[in-house]
Amino acid sequence: MAESTVVIESFPVGPLQCNCTILGDSATGEAIVIDPGDEISRIQARLNKLGLKVKQILITHAHIDHVGGALKLKRLTGAPILLNENDLPLLQMMEQQAGWLGVDTPETEAPDASLQDGMTIGLDTLAGQVIHTPGHTQGSVCLLFAPLRLLVAGDTLFAGSIGRTDLPGGNSRQIIDSIHSRLLVLPEETQVLPGHGGLTTIGEEKDRNPFLTRR
Ligand SMILES: [Zn+2]
């Protein structure tokens, strides 16, 4: 039996501790990076250590803590940035977003492509699908890697909670609808890697998440 060649590393970055995820294939030496919000030199050091070259930079939504380091990583790696087009207004509000946190405004530019619902992303050997889940923001997406039984959920679904909807583009009715119609229909054993905090599963959230069990 061949050893598994899949590399999954997720670690919190920046003042808001956004989970940045490296998903790689050690056989091909290729990787994608999801939500490089900050601490790009640390992310780059991990990639170097793992011997992985970045092919895509995927952004679950355009909040500063998720997208703040994307352009820096693109300049270091040459990899394209993908972000759903409905979050372009938020991307253009970076100065205001930095003001909310009292941090310097990171440089940004328009993404290279939009993350469209149903689109295949990732590596040839490690492909995923985009699930558009508006509500936290209008361009929020989750990324499903079905063969790995892994959902990277951004700020849509957390262990025991859901994303806030009081920021521009947020809609509380819509996030609940997105989670029920697009996420809770996934296999219960699917591991959920949220944008902040620890891992959970679809089954666990279906049973116990107080925001989802009360309707
Ligand atoms: Zn967010």
Mean pLDDT of 52-80: 98
Q: What is the percent of the chain with per-residue pLDDT over 70, rounded to a whole number?
A: 97
Whether residue 186 is predicted with pLDDT greater than 80 in this model: the reply is yes
**How far, in Å, is the centroid of ligand 1 from the Cα of 29?**
30
CA neighbor of 90 nearest in space, from 195, 169, 37, 164? 169
Whether residue 79 is predicted with pLDDT greater than 50 in this model: the reply is yes
| pLDDT at res. 106 | 96
Q: How far apart are CA 143 and CA 151, in angstroms?
A: 6
**How far, in Å, is the centroid of ligand 1 from the Cα of 27?**
33
Q: How far apart are CA 153 and CA 142, in angstroms?
A: 5
Whether residue 188 is predicted with pLDDT greater than 60 in this model: the reply is yes
**How far, in Å, is the centroid of ligand 1 from the Cα of 187?**
25
Q: How confident is the model at residue 3 (pLDDT cuts 50, 70, 90)?
A: low
**How far, in Å, is the centroid of ligand 1 from the Cα of 61?**
7
**How far, in Å, is the centroid of ligand 1 from the Cα of 9?**
20
Residues 102-123: pLDDT tens digits? Answer: 999 999 999 999 999 999 999 9
Assessment of whether the complete model's pTM goes beyond 0.75? yes
103-114 burial, b at 16+ Cβ within 10 Å, e below that, comes to beebebeebeeb
**How far, in Å, is the centroid of ligand 1 from the Cα of 169?**
11
**How far, in Å, is the centroid of ligand 1 from the Cα of 1?**
41
Residues 132-167: pLDDT tens digits? Answer: 999 999 999 999 999 999 999 999 999 999 999 999
**How far, in Å, is the centroid of ligand 1 from the Cα of 147?**
26
| pLDDT at res. 4 | 67
Whether residue 2 is predicted with pLDDT greater than 80 in this model: the reply is no
Q: How far apart are CA 38 and CA 65, in angstroms?
A: 7
Whether residue 1 is predicted with pLDDT greater than 70 in this model: the reply is no
117, two tokens? 């619902």
**How far, in Å, is the centroid of ligand 1 from the Cα of 65?**
7
Whether residue 213 is predicted with pLDDT greater than 90 in this model: the reply is no
Strand partners, 30: 25, 53
CA neighbor of 70 nearest in space, from 85, 57, 89? 57
**How far, in Å, is the centroid of ligand 1 from the Cα of 164?**
8
**How far, in Å, is the centroid of ligand 1 from the Cα of 43?**
20
Strands (DSSP E) contained in 125-213 are 126-132, 141-145, 150-154, 157-158, 161-162, 191-194, 200-201
Whether residue 215 is predicted with pLDDT greater than 80 in this model: the reply is no
CA neighbor of 192 nearest in space, from 125, 182, 37, 123? 182
